[in-house]
Amino acid sequence: MTSPAASTASAAARTAFAAALAQEPGVHDSAIVAAMARMPRHQLMPRLFAPLGNDRPARQWRLLDVADDPEQHLAVCYGMDQVVVQLDGRPTGPLTPGTEYAGVPTGQSSGAGLLAVTVQDVHLGPGDRFLELGACTGYLSAVAADLTGRQATGVEVDRELARDAAMRLAAIGADVRVVVRDGLRGLPDGEWDVIAASFAVRRIPTAWLQRLAPGGRLRTTVTTGAPGWHATALVHRDEAGVLSGRLAAELWGNVPDRAGGWIPLPNTPADSGRSRSSVLAPPEPAERGYWVALAHTLPGVRRHWNAPGFDDEAVLVASDGSRAAVTRDGSHAVEWGPRSLWREAEELHARWAAAGRPAEYRLEFTGAVQRAVGGPGLSWQLPMD
């Protein structure tokens, strides 16, 4: 049973949560903010991993159980950052609260701003049949059930996360059905007015598009496996069944699906590389439209963020071991390996600029082919299923 003091503390945390969420970039729907604050998020994640140190993404965590430190637990649950509930796919039950753990998050409730924008983007309304892929704690599905006034369905591949979510959602009276399934291998029966994926995919799975009802909306993050260079796909099926959509380079995105992962970092080359002077200065990370186009048109390439020894350069690496390090002012580039990576990036930049520096690409669907189109001379096909 919840004590009066605990109820007061959680009400205060949720009031502050609503105020902070309303200030997050792109969040403008007050009904969604209110629904998110109404949901007792802290009861869906009684154990979580609080990040330690200043590195982001964090690699070191302290397991926090609500019973041991209710105040800090509320602060983490009602902060704006993602809340990590699982590391390296390991069950948390046998772990010891208060202890430090190292690991990579495999289960997390996404950042509050991303969750709000997700619901906003799909124009969730009363009566919509809502399906979430990658439900984790079930928080987003619970908010969706509240906003639609009907049962929401959440698909989760991890058995332990799904079991915990189903139990806790029932305890708070949320009308959510949790289905244990790999969402890349088929969906629960039925058609859906709204499909929202909480993990990133390489392309929009055809099976998801086929289950979108006339008038339906679908939202997912699309990634090539390059950290930071993700995009949001928003798809609409009209009443005649025709699909249209856009791929927008945005600040927030979900992490790749469990099997997907990031492009690995190749070994540092031993030689001193080939130097060039007066090259294109690396566009700012906020020029997301450019970086998304680069990720897709130069597949297998990613940025090596914080590469040791390259504090003042942008470093690109490719899966074949090619690498380019470019000074921030564009005065100098060094390249290694078979490809001339920065020259490829410069050529793409010229095409991107000629196309009007798009931050958003039209999505075209022709049979099983998905194409992103940014203007004359700048388009690409997403990988096939």
Ligand X SMILES: C[S@@+](CC[C@H](N)C(=O)[O-])C[C@H]1O[C@@H](n2cnc3c(N)ncnc32)[C@H](O)[C@@H]1O
Chain residues binding ligand X by CB under 6 A are 107-110, 115, 133-137, 139-140, 155-158, 161, 182-184, 198-199, 254, 257-258
Nearer to ligand X, 165 or 348 (CB): 165
Nearer to ligand X, 128 or 156 (CB): 156
Residue 159 CB, shortest distance to ligand X, in Å, is 10
Nearer to ligand X, 146 or 156 (CB): 156
Token code pair at residue 117? 């924008």
Nearer to ligand X, 110 or 223 (CB): 110
Residue 258 CB, shortest distance to ligand X, in Å, is 4
Own/partner long-range contacts of 256-260 (Cβ < 8 Å, ≥24 apart): 256/199, 256/200, 256/201, 256/223, 256/225, 257/134, 257/157, 257/183, 257/184, 257/199, 257/200, 257/201, 258/89, 258/106, 258/157, 258/158, 258/199, 259/184, 260/199, 260/200, 260/201, 260/202, 260/223, 260/225
Residue 114 CB, shortest distance to ligand X, in Å, is 9
> For ligand X, which residue has the nearest CB?
134
Nearer to ligand X, 103 or 375 (CB): 103
Count Cβ neighbours within 10 Å for each residue of 139-150 and write b for 16 or more, e otherwise: bbbbbbbbbbee
Token code pair at residue 1? 């049973």
Nearer to ligand X, 44 or 314 (CB): 44
Token code pair at residue 208? 């998801």
- What is the C-alpha to C-alpha distance for residues 83 and 71, in angstroms, rounded to an integer? 15
Give the strand order in the sheet containing 301-303. 274-277, 332-336, 323-327, 313-318, 301-303
Residue 154 CB, shortest distance to ligand X, in Å, is 8
Residue 126 CB, shortest distance to ligand X, in Å, is 21
Residue 119 CB, shortest distance to ligand X, in Å, is 10
Residue by residue, DSSP assigns 106-127 as EEEEPPHHHHHHHHHHTT--TT
